Structure 1
Amino acid sequence: MKRIAIFASGSGSNAENIINHFSDNEQVSVELILTNNPTAGVIERGNRLNVPTLIFNKKLFTKSDKIVELLKKQEIDWVILAGFLWLVPENLIQAFPNRIINVHPALLPKYGGKGMWGHHVHEAVVANKEKESGITIHYVNEKYDEGKVIFQAKCEISDIDSPENVASKIHDLEFLYFPKVIENEVLKS
Structure 2
Amino acid sequence: MSQIVIFASGSGTNAEAIIRYFSNKQVHVSAVFCNNPQAGVIAKAQSLGVAVELFDKSQLTDGDVLQRLHNYHPDLIVLAGFLWMFPTSILKLYPKVVNIHPALLPKFGGKGMYGNHVHQAVLDAGESVTGITIHYVNEHYDEGAIIAQFETSIVDCVTATCIAAKVHDLEQDHFPKVIEQLLTTNS
TM-score (norm 2): 0.97
Q: Within 5 A, what are the aligned runs for 1:86-101?
A: 86-97=84-95, 99-101=96-98
SS of the equivalent of 1:114 reads coil
Equivalent residue number for residue 176 of structure 2: 179
Question: Deviation of residue 134 (structure 1)?
Answer: 0.3
Alignment gaps of 5+ in structure 2: none
1:15 aligns with 2:12: no
Count of residues paired in the alignment? 186
Equivalent residue number for residue 83 of structure 2: 85
- For 2:132 and 2:158, the matched residues in 1 are separated by 17
- For 1:107 and 1:44, the matched residues in 2 are separated by 30
Alignment gaps of 5+ in structure 1: none
Equivalent residue number for residue 153 of structure 2: 156
SS of the equivalent of 1:136 reads strand
- For 2:150 and 2:156, the matched residues in 1 are separated by 20
2:113 to 93, 116, 125: 116
Contact 1:80–1:100 (8 Å) recurs in 2: yes
Q: What do residues 4-48 of structure 1 show as CA deviations (whole Å, max 9, x unaligned)? A: 00000000010000000000002x110000100000000000111
- For 1:74 and 1:29, the matched residues in 2 are separated by 10
Equivalent residue number for residue 75 of structure 1: 73
- For 1:6 and 1:81, the matched residues in 2 are separated by 6
- For 2:66 and 2:94, the matched residues in 1 are separated by 9
